[in-house]
Amino acid sequence: MHTRTMSCNGYLRSDGLFDVEGELRDITPIETDLLFKLVPAGEPIHHMRIVMTLDTAMVIQDVSAHIEAGPTVYCVDIESAYAGLKGMQIGAGFRKQIKAVVGGVNGCTHLTELLGLIANTAMQTRFAVGRVERNGRRPADESGTMNPPAIINSCYTNRADGEAMKVLWPMHRRPAN
């Protein structure tokens, strides 16, 4: 009766920044009367996109929201609110910060939901850039103090005292206490 698809893609730009494009589509196989409009079978009830530009520190440099299709003509009125995310840093507390700016009546439920996936894709894109920059070198092969990885304590596997963190952040690279 209903299909929701959400997709995100991250791209490295020639200026060293990267873009993450997120898209959400809700499609129903039957003609749907939404009171404000009639949606033909197979056409989107929702079709929304967000494009976010970030630097390597995960600070949002630019963001734009686009509502291609929504259940009412009023939905597009909120697109510009997402520019308020500019300057925020993706990391601990990001979801709380976005709710303060575009949560509830200050945003669109669907666009705001898409931001979580965009943040995850941004992190994965940054990690991909790091893997390319690392060029096969491993943290244990290097010397000198290394800052804690961004993913430390983000989940069970990446806990500070876990086996994975011994590879990602070797003891000989950690700052002295």
**Comparing C-alpha atoms, which of 98, 80, 99 is closest to residue 88?**
98
**Comparing C-alpha atoms, which of 142, 123, 1 is closest to residue 52?**
123
- What does the pLDDT read at residue 171? 85
Average pLDDT score over the chain? 92
Between residues 77 and 155, the one the model is more confident about = 77
- What does the pLDDT read at residue 122? 96
Q: Which residues pair with 50 in a beta bridge?
A: 22, 65
CB 120 within 8 A of CB 147: no
Start-to-end CA span in the chain (Å): 58
Q: Which residues pair with 60 in a beta bridge?
A: 54
- What does the pLDDT read at residue 101? 97
Kindly report whether the global pTM for this prediction surpasses the value 0.75: yes
Compute, in degrees rounded to 10, the torsion defined by CA atoms 143, 89, 18, 105: 160
What would the mean pLDDT of 53-62 be, rounded to a whole number? 96
- What does the pLDDT read at residue 170? 86
Q: What is the DSSP letter of 137?
A: -
| Residue 152: pLDDT band with limits 50, 70, 90 | confident
- What does the pLDDT read at residue 132? 81
